[in-house]
Amino acid sequence: MTVQGNYLHWDELKHREPPEGFTHEAWWLGLRMVRQGSSTYLPFMDKSEHPFKFALPEEVLIHLHHLDQELAGEIRFSEMANPAHRDEYLVRSLIEESITSSQLEGASTTRKVAERMLREERQPRTRDERMIFNNFRTMRAIQDFRDEPFTPTRIVELHRLVTEGTLEDPSDAGRLRRSDDVFVYDRDNGTILHKPPSHLELVGRLDLLCAFANRSEMDRPFVHPVLRAILLHFMLGYDHPFADGNGRTARAVFYWALLRSGYWLSEFISISHFLRKAPAQYGMAYLYAETDGGDTTYFLIHQLQTIRKAVDALHAFLTKRKIEQRALERLIAPSSSLGDLLNHRQRAVLTHAIRRPGAEYRIAGHQNIHAITYQTARTDLTSLADLGLLDQHRVGKAFVFTAPTDLKRRIAKLEAGGTGA
């Protein structure tokens, strides 16, 4: 099934030295026969009416073992129980996924501008900013219906959220494509890489997709929930049911499926961050599956590796942040004299402000990030300004709160019994 632990496609195998007495062709035929004999066949068909399938080489099982422990576990991530930490990490991941998922689809704007727009809830000014803004609100929406069953109507609505205000034809947002002139191109040379199934099949294919997504562990054949989420991602990319925005919708559905299956930590990671670093490998994983008789194992392995990288990156981030925050948390912890005056949202603002002097905070943005009322958000920020921990000024009719460059000194001074400013 594998060659030295690697699940190789013909394009890779033909460059390896075959076993003694075998030609490359005979070697490949033997591998394919073993794979087909141990594969799980899926209810989805390709354009030639051949079923998609996947195998379970050892690498897949190892990845699933780790992800079962990490994405649904509580031990290594017990600090998520702290509301201030949880809010900060969640916002960070939502922003990262929103930006990089859009950049995968061609959006171009600086990270600083995009993050500021999302934190302040400023209305997007360009199509690229709109793509990022839409991704952010979509990821937020998924949290609200994470426990709902999959339906074609909900997936179409998800597409509308992702694409509204970004398409050449605005009426394509939240609507299945109505023609077969949608293709996947190689961005470098314009070559057609994939021609999706006919638009006349899309209703039936989407019904099948939702039935697969809603399967329970009692249904047979059993498909591991993480693999099921990845396969939903794959099939939406393969079927390409919309005129545009298929990739963004597919990745949103992937997150929805993981959250619905109890993998709560998945909302704190960004797979698009790593997909964007190697987009050619992302595309190749699709192509390998399509050109090897619908064997989705290539895509599964690629995505499992990507998820593991994202989890490892979260580990590294949490470790670094824990070191950085120890001194700060002693100053603004609930048990300190200053921390006793602060709620967890205000501590999150100060934690962010210390790392980003000059950062600006607006009431509407704080309200959006923490899902609180406008009055509560206003009280949070004005109280910090009253303590001298944020600078406050007006821009037009709106209040803007700015992180001072000497925030650490101000915190220390307050702790010593003085005033922040």
Question: From residue 201, how far is each of 46, 230, 280 by CA, in Å?
Answer: 11, 22, 29
pLDDT at res. 356: 82
pLDDT at res. 334: 58
pLDDT at res. 75: 45
pLDDT < 70: residue spans in the chain: 73-85, 324-325, 327-339, 417-421
What pairing do the DSSP bridges indicate for beta strands 184-185 and 360-362?
unpaired
Do 27 and 13 contact (CB within 8 A), yes or no? yes
Token output for 288: 């390998």
What structural domains does the chain harbor?
1-38 (no CATH), 42-313 (1.10.3290.10), 358-415 (1.10.10.10)
Do 145 and 252 contact (CB within 8 A), yes or no? no
Q: How many CB atoms lie within 10 A of CB 149?
A: 11
- How far apart are alpha carbons 138 and 155 in whole angstroms? 11
Q: Is 55 exposed, middle or buried (0-12, 13-18, 19+ CB in 10 A)?
A: buried
Please name every residue paired with 192 in a beta bridge, in sequence order, or none if there are none: 185
- How far apart are alpha carbons 24 and 228 in whole angstroms? 33
Please name every residue paired with 274 in a beta bridge, in sequence order, or none if there are none: none
Place of tokens 């490998």: 281
Rounded to two decimals, what is the model's pTM? Answer: 0.81
- How far apart are alpha carbons 298 and 289 in whole angstroms? 6
pLDDT at res. 111: 84
Q: Is 358 exposed, middle or buried (0-12, 13-18, 19+ CB in 10 A)?
A: exposed
What's the per-residue H, E or C state across 319-378?
HHHHHHHHHHHHHHCCCCCCHHHCCHHHHHHHHHHHHCCCCEEEHHHHHHHHCCCHHHHH
